[in-house]
Structure 1
Amino acid sequence: MATRPDPFRPPKRFDRDQVEFGRSLAFIDATFAIAATLLVVTLNPSDADWASWSRFLGDEWPSLLSFALSFLVISVYWWANHRLVAVLDTLSSRFVGCAVAMLAFVALLPFTTEGLGEYQDGGDGTVATVCYAGNVALVSILSTVLVVVSFREHLYRVQPTERELRAQLIDLADTPLVFLLSIPVTVLISPNWGRATWALLFVTGPLTGRWSARYAGRR
């Protein structure tokens, strides 16, 4: 005799045609959008800064640079999440839980961005740089966890092979590694050198992309 399902127990999976699927995606997209919007509060020029271009740029360029960097980071991870969800057939409760954990650190980015812009040229820049690097690394790691969860729980429309999964993980590994590497560089050498380490992504990004494509056997 079939067991009657518990009406008060939520399902563990949400198909694309269920409202819970859309609500989960709406919450994820809204959090990314709000975090990107809140970056503007990290820009707080004084009345004197508006007096001349030289004063404005001299005082505000660190905050503007931090704003641009964080807006790019949030946009890139939103786009990565958008591309991931586009190839999923269903969501699981574990996927949603991991996504919420990732969003906690996405929502923290305006806070660490403000610290990065405020103390970029001072001696206290060590704390701000370490906190920001750790923040971005955690967003990146949890974003990668979503890919692994999707694979292990067979959420994809077309399930990738293990080789394709490993290739994608290779492609995703450079960002958290570079930001984590910048933490000891910041502490042992200087915040300026730590932030300069982030420029390695312009080299590691194309390299890991090529390696992952070769490993997966795709052109």
Structure 2
Amino acid sequence: MAGESTAARRTHFAPTDSLEFGRGVSFFDAVYGFAVTLLIANVDAPPPEAWRSLSALAESGVPAQLIGFALSFTVIAVFWRLNVRLMRRLAGLDGLTTALNLVPAALVILIAFTTQGISDPASADLALPTAFYALNIALVALAQTVMFQVARSRGLERVPTGARANRLDLIDSLITPLVFLLSIPLALFVDPNAAKWSWATLIVLGPLSGRLTMRALDRPRRGGDGGG
């Protein structure tokens, strides 16, 4: 029965060396690329008089829009690289995993919309656009994590990881959404700019969390070597 269950579950399974898997990965790559391209729609062409001086150009609001473009470009690029890395850890894709991977892809496209709220000078200092942007980014990160965890539970990992290693990996993956989720009440009840600055903590927390995870995973191996 177990063998039949596994066979039935993998009826729509596409291994990494199949054309279906290649098409699936190419589709997701294209979605992330399209999402990045959409960001330029948030940068308005300045009026001719804005080109008369740097101060006039700064007052036109274009620099703020370009900063928003650069921020979201970086965010989407990071999510794309993470999706590529997760795909490489899988032996293939089945129907459920593919469907779940469409969720972060859709949310990534939405980043172009929420970027407008935090980069338009007319709304950049408001709390709601900052909160929506933070929620958008947090949901993308969580959706990617859910997709991989479901794939892992369905036996799709190329090299299966142990429970402890997966638990540490899961904790590491939750750092980014946690930072953005915590910034939402900060934006709504304290100051939107303070919430935006709180995102910068990921510059330190991200690498630090990854390093601590690798050290924790390496510790049992060192203990085993020493005991031998």
Scaled by the length of structure 1, the TM-score of the pair is: 0.89
Runs ≥4 residues deviating over 3 A: 119-123
Work out the CA distance in 2 between the residues paired with 1:121 and 1:107.
20
Q: Which residue of 1 is the match for residue 42 of structure 2? A: 42
Task: Report the CA distance between 1:23 and its aligned residue.
Answer: 1.6
Please tell me whether the aligned partners of residues 69 and 115 of structure 2 are also in contact (alpha carbons under 8 angstroms): yes
Work out the CA distance in 2 between the residues paired with 1:32 and 1:107.
7
Work out the CA distance in 1 between the residues paired with 2:66 and 2:124.
16
In the TM superposition, what whole-angstrom CA distance separates every residue of 1:39-86 from its partner, at most 9, and x where no partner exists? 111100321333322222332221111111100000001001111112
Q: Which residue of 1 is the match for residue 58 of structure 2? A: 57
Q: Which residue of 1 is the match for residue 225 of structure 2? A: none
Work out the CA distance in 1 between the residues paired with 2:66 and 2:21.
36
Q: Extract unaligned runs of 5+ from structure 1.
A: 1-9
Q: 1:120 to 1:85 in 2, by over 3 A?
A: farther
Find the residue that maps to 1:22 and give its secondary structure: helix
Find the residue that maps to 2:159 and give its secondary structure: coil
Work out the CA distance in 1 between the residues paired with 2:196 and 2:45.
23
The one-letter amino acid paired with 2:216 is: Y
Q: Which residue of 2 is the match for residue 78 of structure 1? A: 80
Task: Report the CA distance between 1:121 and its aligned residue.
Answer: 6.6
Q: Which residue of 2 is the match for residue 5 of structure 1? A: none
Work out the CA distance in 2 between the residues paired with 1:72 and 1:34.
14
Q: Which residue of 2 is the match for residue 131 of structure 1? A: 132
Find the residue that maps to 1:157 and give its secondary structure: coil
Find the residue that maps to 1:217 and give its secondary structure: helix
Q: 1:213 to 1:122 in 2, by over 3 A?
A: closer
Work out the CA distance in 2 between the residues paired with 1:40 and 1:116.
14
Task: Report the CA distance between 1:22 and its aligned residue.
Answer: 1.4
Work out the CA distance in 2 between the residues paired with 1:204 and 1:120.
31
Task: Report the CA distance between 1:186 and its aligned residue.
Answer: 0.5
Work out the CA distance in 1 between the residues paired with 2:103 and 2:123.
32
Identity %: 38
Scaled by the length of structure 2, the TM-score of the pair is: 0.85
Q: Match for 2:120 among 118, 133, 158? A: 118
Q: 1:140 to 1:12 in 2, by over 3 A?
A: same
Task: Report the CA distance between 1:108 and its aligned residue.
Answer: 0.3
Work out the CA distance in 1 between the residues paired with 2:76 and 2:179.
17
Please tell me whether the aligned partners of residues 163 and 215 of structure 1 are also in contact (alpha carbons under 8 angstroms): no
Please tell me whether the aligned partners of residues 119 and 128 of structure 1 are also in contact (alpha carbons under 8 angstroms): no
Task: Report the CA distance between 1:149 and its aligned residue.
Answer: 1.6
Task: Report the CA distance between 1:206 and its aligned residue.
Answer: 2.7
Q: Extract unaligned runs of 5+ from structure 2.
A: 1-9, 223-228
